[in-house]
């Protein structure tokens, strides 16, 4: 049957759905559908957590989504069958926030194993039909098994590529168990139209070696003479068509019979060997459940990277825990009796599996809709987790369903809703609590929860529920304070810092860091002010330190579900690629990490504006380089991002930052310069701190330290989670590989997050501040304005200045200062 009409109406139904928010509630599935993540792979089994795949950046990847039968070959009761609307299918997946589907293939050309009807066709086929050599049993010309049909392979390649451009992974199915046998005796026999049936090809190939009238032998070792050679030629053709795409997985076959395992193992080994010896990329290969009643023994013993089990080893009320022996895609196609609803999705997810749903897209009952939406919610949640460290821990909760990084993060599923207990005896500190509706995706924040004991929580809404617990930053027993109107001042000794050595280190910094010395130096430890320079309240511009204010606004909008880091910029600024098509591929992640390659107009250069009029930067010029292929520290990327964020928030950057961050953390002495007005009348703040008539952020060392303290506490502020742990961790993790080519200007390669400079190895293999703890990071601006965050020491250090200083010399100065300060600091 064709899905064209019901698919379009279904997509419209979902796009029209709105998640309402109020108070402390927002929605995981709110905002635009996810745009492509251009860092997709190729996937490989994650080296640290083999329940998941890893992309080429070592991120753990969770797969989930609907799949349906028509995605590659059209099928239906007429010939040729009505075309399947693949564009609508991709829209359906994106709308539901799915990132995976199985690319079904059918070996036979006519008749359906689930029907008695004589009229059901499939096309195109992998093999070319040859006129003048007789008619096959399906009523059409016979196949030539040595000639491939270009239409089939071009369609395969095009659809894999279209999925890639939409951030969706594809399991390319290679063979079809349903095509060779009766599934029920009174239905049609698909084998009668199979290209390898002796009556249907011009090559005199008969894969039915035992002559029983069915094609079991086509999927059973040893094969008929010549068949393995032809199968290998077909496999090479498929691999050649899709090997260049990073979003590919292979699936040997759908539900082959229970004597097919040796043949399937040979297919897996052939694929792996061919890609390893002849192709540039290697992709995961999967083996799915044999039919009927195939167990997992053959699957786990196989050379496959991933498997899909059958009902023989799957309790629908209590699914098995993924051990990491194989990546497990839990597919309702192989689990008859499994309802395929939200309950299935969350139980599978919290036990380390990847739930996928065999989906008749015309079905719109409540259970199916709940499954589709729940898969999207689990995916959005998985993107916020440290998934590489997450393992099933059902033993810690009364519900039995928990995915956890013990001591740091817990996701609990409550199948019956209501109350749940969780054992946090081994977890110190406070935990942020978020309740998630498993279908709607709404998040409701609750009061923080103390670790150190078994705790009981109650869902704030009726029905099934999910709760996400995230640890606040560890303080090693030290009391973490948060300032009120002013910072609480205390002695260095009270916070584990030797006063004499601190004074000595500061005196050295004062004498070696330019005319302004350490007059505006502020040092905070455990939330207490232990050093304040005489001009710590001096108010002035901080140049490029402004950039971390802009990236913080990005984090707020990501947390709100209004965008994703890997969304393309053109999704929010459609005119961006009108004259410069290359800009279609720039993502928000690229812009926030100086790897977008964007170039704008430079005009009206003057002593007051040495880099030109900032508003002109928004007029696109030819790119510096292809986005994501190089890096260059340049303000044009930042202005483009600031423009997008203001449009997304529907208010200037300053207003978003003030309401969500500055006011809650008590920043009183600050301002954000305006460089112009957008065409929609909205003012545009100086997102980069570019020298201009209207500078970026102006503030004091004491107020800038508050932002540093927020980041030190991973977005947590005195009982409130203002910025997600997920975003803080992303912002302070290297986003620019040291191997990425450097274009111009300062080189962020290897040590740059989202406008934060990191103490990780640079291109030369050295860190910027070797004497500092390795997790140190900093906001940096001209005149050596700096805000250092040192998680290992629970410390924030801000030093502001107005006199020009050389940045390289400043790095050397800071490194020496760290070397002198380190002996004074006791570890928390």
Other C-beta atoms closer than 10 Å to the C-beta of 461 total 13
Is 482 found in the same domain as 429? no
Is 264 found in the same domain as 347? no
User: What radius of gyration, in Å, describes the C-alpha atoms of the chain?
Assistant: 30
Give which of 573, 812, 585, 609 is closest to 693, Cα–Cα: 609
Is 497 found in the same domain as 433? no
> Using CA atoms, how far apart are residues 570 and 644, in angstroms rounded to an integer?
9
Is 532 found in the same domain as 544? no
> Using CA atoms, how far apart are residues 225 and 646, in angstroms rounded to an integer?
67
How high is the mean pLDDT of the chain? 91
Predicted local confidence at residue 31, as pLDDT:
52
Is pLDDT larger for residue 826 or for residue 477?
826
Average of pLDDT values for 655-676?
97
Convert the pLDDT of each residue in 129-149 to its tens digit. Answer: 999 999 999 999 999 999 999
Is 396 found in the same domain as 523? no
Using the predicted structure, report yes or no on whether residue 693 has a pLDDT greater than 90.
no
Give which of 594, 552, 596 is closest to 573, Cα–Cα: 596
Residue 63 included in any domain: no
Is 250 found in the same domain as 113? yes
Using the predicted structure, report yes or no on whether residue 432 has a pLDDT greater than 70.
yes
Is 810 found in the same domain as 756? yes
Peptide bond into 42 cis (omega under 30): yes
Residue 53 included in any domain: no
Is 463 found in the same domain as 321? yes
Using the predicted structure, report yes or no on whether residue 606 has a pLDDT greater than 90.
no
Using the predicted structure, report yes or no on whether residue 428 has a pLDDT greater than 80.
no
Domain with 400 in it: 1-30+317-327+339-471
Is 554 found in the same domain as 465? no
> Using CA atoms, how far apart are residues 552 and 558, in angstroms rounded to an integer?
10
Band of pLDDT at residue 38, cut at 50, 70 and 90: low
Residue 79 included in any domain: no
Is 411 found in the same domain as 265? no
Instruction: Please tell me the least confidently modeled range out of 387-391, 538-542, 646-650.
Output: 387-391
DSSP string, 520-575: TEEEEETTEEEEE-TTTT--EE-GGGHHHHHHHHHHHHHHTTS--TT-BGGGT-GG
Average of pLDDT values for 550-561?
93
Other C-beta atoms closer than 10 Å to the C-beta of 679 total 6
Convert the pLDDT of each residue in 238-251 to its tens digit. Answer: 999 999 999 999 99
Peptide bond into 124 cis (omega under 30): yes
Residue 417 included in any domain: yes
Residue 742 included in any domain: no
Average of pLDDT values for 454-474?
91
The total of structural domains in the chain comes to 4
Convert the pLDDT of each residue in 51-66 to its tens digit. Answer: 999 986 568 999 999 9
Is 114 found in the same domain as 26? no
Is 692 found in the same domain as 705? no
Residue 447 included in any domain: yes
């Amino acid at each position: 049957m064709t899905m064209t009409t019901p698919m379009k109406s279904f997509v419209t139904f979902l796009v029209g759905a709105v998640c309402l928010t109020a108070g402390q509630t927002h929605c995981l599935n709110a905002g635009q559908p996810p745009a492509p993540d251009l860092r997709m792979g190729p996937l490989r089994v994650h080296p640290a957590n083999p329940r998941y795949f890893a992309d080429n950046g070592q991120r753990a990847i969770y797969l989930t989504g609907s799949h349906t039968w028509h995605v590659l070959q059209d099928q239906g009761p007429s010939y040729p069958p009505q075309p399947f609307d693949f564009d609508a299918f991709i829209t359906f997946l994106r709308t539901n926030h799915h990132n995976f589907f199985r690319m079904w293939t059918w070996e036979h050309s006519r008749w359906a194993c689930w029907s008695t009807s004589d009229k059901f066709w499939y096309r195109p086929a992998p093999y070319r039909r040859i006129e003048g050599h007789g008619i096959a049993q399906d009523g059409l010309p016979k196949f030539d098994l040595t000639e491939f049909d270009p239409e089939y392979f071009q369609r395969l390649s095009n659809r894999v590529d279209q999925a890639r451009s939409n951030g969706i992974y594809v399991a390319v199915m290679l063979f079809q168990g349903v095509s060779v046998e009766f599934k029920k005796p009174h239905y049609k026999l698909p084998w009668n139209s199979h290209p390898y049936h002796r009556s249907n090809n011009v090559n005199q190939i008969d894969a039915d070696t035992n002559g029983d009238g069915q094609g079991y032998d086509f999927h059973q070792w040893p094969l008929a003479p010549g068949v393995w050679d032809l199968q290998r030629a077909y496999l090479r053709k498929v691999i050649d068509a899709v090997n260049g795409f990073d979003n590919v997985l292979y699936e040997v076959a759908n539900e082959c019979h229970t004597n097919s395992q040796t043949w399937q193992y040979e297919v897996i080994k052939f694929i792996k060997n061919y890609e390893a010896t002849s192709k540039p990329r290697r992709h995961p290969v999967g083996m799915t459940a044999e039919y009927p009643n195939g167990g997992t023994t053959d699957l786990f013993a196989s050379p496959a990277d991933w498997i899909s089990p059958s009902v023989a080893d799957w309790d629908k009320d209590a699914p098995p825990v993924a051990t990491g022996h194989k990546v497990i895609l839990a597919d309702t196609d192989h689990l008859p009796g499994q309802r395929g609803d939200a309950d299935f999705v969350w139980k599978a997810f919290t036990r380390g599996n990847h739930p996928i749903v065999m989906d008749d897209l015309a079905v719109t009952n409540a259970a199916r809709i709940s499954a589709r939406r729940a898969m999207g919610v689990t995916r959005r949640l998985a993107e916020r987790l440290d998934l590489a460290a997450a393992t099933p821990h059902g033993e810690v909760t009364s519900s039995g369903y928990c995915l956890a990084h013990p001591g740091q993060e817990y996701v609990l599923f409550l199948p019956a809703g209501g109350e749940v207990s969780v054992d946090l005896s081994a977890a110190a500190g406070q935990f942020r609590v978020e309740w998630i509706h498993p279908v709607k995706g709404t998040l409701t924040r609750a009061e923080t929860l103390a670790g150190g004991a078994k705790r009981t929580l109650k869902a704030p809404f009726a029905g099934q529920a999910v709760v996400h617990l995230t640890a606040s930053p560890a303080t090693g027993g030290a009391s973490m304070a948060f300032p009120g109107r002013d910072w609480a001042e205390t002695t260095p000794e009270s916070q584990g810092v030797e006063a004499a050595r601190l004074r000595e280190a500061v005196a050295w910094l004062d004498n070696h860091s330019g005319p302004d010395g350490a007059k505006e130096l502020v040092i905070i430890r455990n939330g207490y002010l232990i050093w304040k320079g005489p001009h710590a309240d001096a108010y002035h511009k901080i140049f490029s330190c402004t950039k971390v204010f802009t990236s913080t606004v990005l984090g707020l909008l990501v947390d709100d579900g209004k965008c994703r880091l890997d969304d393309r910029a053109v999704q929010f600024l459609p005119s961006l690629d009108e004259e410069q098509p290359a800009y279609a591929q720039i993502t928000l992640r690229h812009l926030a990490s100086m790897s977008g390659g964007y170039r704008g107009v430079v005009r009206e250069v003057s002593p007051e504006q040495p880099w030109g009029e900032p508003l002109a930067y928004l007029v696109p010029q030819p790119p510096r380089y292809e986005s994501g292929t190089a890096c260059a520290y340049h303000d044009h990327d930042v202005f483009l991002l600031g423009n997008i964020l203001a449009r997304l928030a529907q208010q200037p950057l300053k207003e978003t930052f003030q309401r969500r961050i500055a006011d809650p953390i008590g920043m009183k002495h600050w301002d954000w310069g305006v460089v112009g007005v957008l065409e929609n009348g909205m003012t545009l703040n100086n997102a980069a701190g570019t020298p201009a008539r209207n500078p970026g952020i102006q503030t004091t060392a004491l107020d800038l330290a508050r932002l540093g303290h927020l980041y030190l506490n991973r977005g947590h502020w005195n009982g409130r989670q203002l910025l997600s742990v997920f975003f803080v961790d992303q912002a302070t993790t290297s986003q620019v590989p040291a191997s990425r080519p450097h274009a111009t200007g300062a080189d962020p390669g290897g040590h740059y997050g989202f406008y934060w400079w990191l103490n990780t190895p640079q291109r030369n293999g050295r860190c910027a501040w070797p004497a500092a703890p390795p997790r140190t990071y900093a906001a940096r601006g001209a005149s050596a304005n700096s805000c250092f965050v040192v998680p290992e020491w629970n410390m924030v250090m801000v030093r502001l200045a107005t006199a020009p200083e050389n940045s390289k010399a400043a790095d050397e100065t800071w490194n020496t200062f760290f070397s002198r300060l380190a002996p004074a600091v006791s570890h928390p």
